[in-house]
Chain A
Amino acid sequence: MNNKICKFLFFAVLAASVVTLSGCKSRKPSADMYGSDNMYGDPLLGDVPLNADNMGLPMDGDRSMFEPVMFPYDSSQVNPEEAGKVEAVAKYLNKGKGQGVIVEGHGDERGSREYNLALGERRALAIRDYLISLGVDASVIQTKSLGEELPASTGHDEGAWRQNRRGVFAIY
């Protein structure tokens, strides 16, 4: 339980100082970072630039190696109970196994398609931020939002939607 809270607090602050934080887990979150303006499950994302161009980057990878990270409705916050899935990927990449990862962000079918594209990207970027904070080199993490275009379940109920709000790791 304590451990979970620690992870949660840690994630809330990591975005503020993605670069300086790597490896340092003990920093306390500041009040405004963890304050009431973060009431909708949208973390403050880091501003580590992405690769300049995606042409020529690996397009696909092995999705069977790691469990997808699940998200609440209209949220791009990696919840504490999902954080271990990201840490497993960081551990794998930090050991020098695999060249990199494509983090694929997905949403459920509710809401506009274009908005869901942006939301899917934020989910992928939230996972990317966490990976960077765990020491993974930013240049080997690609993000790809699929919005609501590739659902894991084609159902139309809460059970299906829950399965579809996810971040998938494709290892290359």
Chain B
Amino acid sequence: MRRFFLMGCAALVSMSVLAQRVEVRKSGEGKIAINLASYRTGSDTASRTFLSVLKADLNRSGYFTVTSAGAELNVAGSCVSSGSRLTADCQVYKVSNRQRLLGKSYKPDTPDPRWLAHRVADDIVYAVTGKKGMASGKVAVVSNRTGRKELYVCDMDGKNIRQITKDRSIVVGPGWTPDAKNIVYTSYKRGYPNVYLTGRSKPLSSHGGLNASGAVSPDGKSLALILSRDGNPELYIKSLRTGFLKRMTKTRRGNEASPCWSPDGNHIAYVSDTSGSPQVYIIPGNGGRSQRLTSSGTENVAPDWGKNGYIVFSSRVGGRYRIAMANPSAKTLRVLETDWADYEDPSWAPDGRHIVCSRTASYRSSIYLLDTLKDSPVALLSGSVDWYSPACSP
């Protein structure tokens, strides 16, 4: 029954990837019960914050249920705050055979309990599952909370929000550099839409016309972006060392938008409307023919190519935007089950399992965490202002 439903979804999106196989979700898969009852903290706020953030991170990871009884794993150790320092140690044991899966001490330079909890959570996820966690990742996001559209960064749990730009202008479409240290974004702070890098006042690109949708390649050497300098919006690759520009598309009747790189840096997925509606295409980075990934009848926009090989994008189905993921080499497609709201601008979380996206309901946009396996969506940023265009650090 479920299989038929999913196939129905796939038919609605009707991807052009032929002979596709619809992935059937693994449902009812159990989580690992993990017990932190014996973990010791002081009575101070910092070490108690550490423990509560750690528990929340483990629950959010999708792999664990934090319990106080009947656990498969026990977490022992302590977190101590003394003066301006916060230290912790952490051991994870299997209850059944007392096998130790993790034993580590932490003496960070920062006294921030959240920072430390996120790292410990990711270490536990990795020690137990062998998979990368997402807790120490960050989300770049745009909000109108000051009345202007500025760039913000928060932790993967939606906390620790910091305003990055004070341009008093318009910020569009942020994305991280591969070292997760800086953010590329489009801003109108000098009148025209130019591409900027955080920590650098001179724009990365300021040609006449449109400069937008900058995306840095995995090796950090190139910038894929949309320029209209030659008379029409097209996809270009700019060398960040020499400034050399390579034009990738020639579609004088169409628009290009939203480039993103494949994990190996050899291909770029982007949006083009040359077919009459915006669809996702893939082009080799060294030039050559582009291939259409998604097909007509609907709109497929805002792709993000994860390290897991899947391209996640926003797909308009039956008048509303949903999140779809496609594997271009295995030729699979899946539309995530979501409610009636519009889900847009998806971005892979660092764990390759979760997706952060915007959810718009009643014309108010907030940021949600979606699980591609089984967990329910979680609101990360919401309230009386708009939050949109999220981008997770790699």
Contacts and interface: CB of A to CB of B under 8 A. Distances in A.
B8 interface: no
A147 B292 CA distance: 25
B191 A113 contact: no
A59 B190 contact: yes
A38 B274 CA distance: 10
A51 to B, nearest CB: 4
Contacts, number: 154
A118 B191 CA distance: 17
A167 B140 CA distance: 31
Interface stretch (A64-72, A81-89, A91-99, A138-146): A138-146
Nearest to A15: B252
Contacts of B143: none
B229 A50 contact: yes
A145 B344 contact: no
A115 B232 contact: no
A111 B193 contact: no
Interface in B230-263: 230-233, 252-258
A45 B231 contact: yes
Contacts of B203: 55
Contacts of B271: 112, 114-115
B42 interface: no
B229 A112 contact: no
B347 interface: no
A6 B1 CA distance: 58
A14 interface: no
Q: Which of A37, A118, A121 is packed against the most chain B CB atoms within 10 Å?
A: A118
Interface string A20-63: 00000000000000000111101111111111111101011000
Contacts of B223: none
B345 interface: yes
Contact of A145 (B210, B314, B389): B210
A144 B193 contact: yes
A167 B314 CA distance: 27
Nearest to B193: A145
Contacts of B209: 50, 54, 121, 124-125, 142-143, 145
Interface string B181-201: 000001010111110000000
A149 interface: yes
B60 interface: no
Nearest to B234: A118
A5 interface: no
Pick the most buried of B212, B277, B389: most chain A CB atoms within 10 A of its CB. B212
B231 A50 contact: yes
B212 A118 contact: yes
B206 A117 contact: no
A77 to B, nearest CB: 11
Contacts of B252: 15, 44-45, 47
Contacts of A48: 231
B220 interface: no
Contacts of A90: none
A125 B231 contact: yes
Contacts of B388: 113
Contact of A53 (B170, B207, B210, B231): B207
A35 to B, nearest CB: 11
Contacts of A142: 192, 208-209
A114 B363 contact: no
Contacts of A111: 278, 299, 301
A121 B228 contact: yes
Contact of B255 (A38, A57, A122): A122
A47 B228 CA distance: 10
B173 interface: yes
B172 interface: yes
Nearest to B360: A109
A60 B301 contact: no
A117 B210 contact: yes
B273 interface: yes
B208 A115 contact: no
B287 interface: no
Contact of A47 (B190, B231, B276, B277): B231
A118 B229 contact: no
Contacts of B301: 111-112, 114-115
B267 interface: no
B389 A51 contact: no
Given A114-B213, A117-B226, A122-B255, 13 more contacts: A39-B276, A42-B255, A45-B253, A50-B207, A51-B207, A55-B190, A60-B191, A74-B273, A115-B257, A115-B301, A117-B173, A143-B210, A144-B192
8 contacts: A48-B231, A54-B192, A54-B211, A115-B257, A115-B301, A118-B210, A122-B233, A124-B209
Interface of B: 149, 170, 172-173, 186, 188, 190-194, 203, 206-213, 226, 228-233, 252-258, 271, 273, 276-278, 299, 301-302, 314, 344-345, 363, 388-389
Interface of A: 15, 37-40, 42-55, 57, 59-60, 74, 111-115, 117-119, 121-122, 124-125, 142-147, 149-150, 156
CB-based closest 4 A-B pairs: A59-B191, A50-B208, A51-B208, A118-B255
